Structure 1
Amino acid sequence: MRILLVRPWPYKLNIDSYNVQEIGLSRALVKRGHTCGIVLYLEEGESYSEEYEQGITIYYLRGKNFFKNGLFGKELKNILEGYDVIQVHEYDQIQSWKIYSHIHDKKVIIYHGPYYDKFNKGYNLKCSVFDSMFLSFSHRAKDEVTCLTKSPLAADFLKAKGFKNVISVGVGLDTKPFEGDGVDDISDQMPGDKVNIIYVGKLEERRNTPFLLDLMQQILDSVPDTFCTVVGSGDKEYVEALQDKISALKDTGRFLYIEKAPQKALAQAYKKADLMLFPSNYEIFGMVLLEAMFFENAVISSVNGGSSELISDGNNGIICNSFSTDEWLDKVTELVKDKDKLYSIKANASKTIHDSYTWDSIAGKFERAYRLESK
């Protein structure tokens, strides 16, 4: 099959420094004998295409940003004609809606991640407006189009919208960006004689960063033989407001802060880490969950899209149902003291991702959905 993945978000994407889901899925599909194309948004300049790898063509299309919706012109229509399967991303993107509501002579799949959460007020409002203006006129699409989701939370969200064919398939990890030798400047600074606790990701309110830093402070104050590392940055003003907390953590002598790192350096840091903290207020999935678990980190996470799909509480990770520092501290303390349980969770976490959540392992679910949609 010739499969086209349309990514409509109107933002520049650095495919060299970000673990791009469309590329990971395409690589797995090419191994299965298919040919793939990926449509990415181009903010300025002339549209162009390139053969990214054998069997994968990337189309950089000039588009317009309409209230955070990437809209493409006739160039996309011409590209669509050359493919058998069209996979669009997010039900509420206008470009996605135009495809899944108006193209009936090809196989069309929606791959969706967001879900309802009271924290995400802006998205909730956007969906209410979108449903009234667009989705209410898409009765045929809701009955016929297959929706693949990144989590059970997202599946329930689409079912509540009236979509009939909804399957939660998760997200896969593309391990290729981690392959080869890289600069080991993070893990070299992480001690080998302590329990290493890590966080990787943006510093922002959605990721509950103040809670994370307060929790790390309590861990370092009360749990001996621990070392905490944070890799990530965020908006300048937001990060500056956190400097007092970061400075206090540095004063313990058991805290490392790195603003950014290439994928290969991150791989080495994950390998050195034992625990990952992920107290996100809202997460569509969280690629760092996949990455950390792949490299045998015991993840302690809030309830979110990724944890609801990946973690079996107490078996391959820990889920905290509140944002009480006492609850989180108790979970960390338990694992630090009970090494058998810690090592068991680490091993099970890695097995979960290797067995079920690399793109190679879940590509078959996408392939079956593509064939189900045959007209």
Structure 2
Amino acid sequence: MPSPTPPPLGDLLDALSVVSIPLRTRFRGVTHREAALLRGPAGWGEFAPFLEYPPAEASRWLAAAVEAAWVGWPDPVRDEVPVNATVPAVAAGDVAGVLARFDGCTTAKVKVAETGQTLADDVARVSEVRRVMGPAARVRVDANGGWSVAEAVTALTALGRCDLEYAEQPCRTVEELAELRVALARRHVDVPVAADESIRKATDPVRVARLHAADLVVVKVAPLGGVRAALAVVEACGLPAVVSSALDTSVGIRAGVALAASLPRLDHACGLGTVALLEGDVAQDSCVPRRGAIGIREVTADPELLDRWAAPPDRVDRWRTRLADCHAELVASARMGA
């Protein structure tokens, strides 16, 4: 989808603040979350692509930040969004402490297939989540594409005994996901498959639906280029959707809430409680779940917190360069679509 022409680069650089916030627990190899925040006429936007993402991919995150800060979002159809707890690849003994940070959540997403860990570690972690939350809770796992089809069949056969809501991106490719769904069905393993990376990192996210590779899709605002772009992907896929985040501050979480609040159908709790994984935030009133949900409200970055978590000057320079590179990508995309 071609992007609208962004504001001038100078306006974006003038509106930029960069923060670096420690994580409570190492998550996907990250110990500090860096994010660039933009203040525009419509509010605040977050530009925080992970550091390894090249400009072509990271430019979608800038498009989402520009939408938030300069355009605003579609009108919501609900007042609050149910949220899941997120459990990193911690030891089973640490599970209860992690879950305690998510007020009232009755759904948990558990990271599995972590490099250096075993299936036994995953089973212990997921089993402990089930024990702590009880039989009525919904428990889902997220492998981030870490298994082959054969490994996924073995793992989900074992983990499925914990009564999983679904498995998120168990294999890397769309073709593998489609093969896995068939393999699970043949073995009577009743674990639905959700596509995440196959949606947000794909040039053609609708292939997931065409190849019958998933039972539902996980969508994230920033990697898809904004709320409106994500809504278009969900509509084109025609599958139930779960909205998730990418270790965002409250500014980024608010965009995810805007997407979830705009979806015509929302059957699952959303992965928008990840501010609880950070040691700090940029808003005084953090966008975290209360009684298992996040309500629709405005989120404003606080100047004192921006100063407290300000990134070092060399990192700010790096983000200014990233922003300029991504701005060039958006301008080129707009010209091609004109």
Question: What TM-score comes out, normalization by structure 1 length?
Answer: 0.32
**Structure number with larger C-alpha Rg:** 1
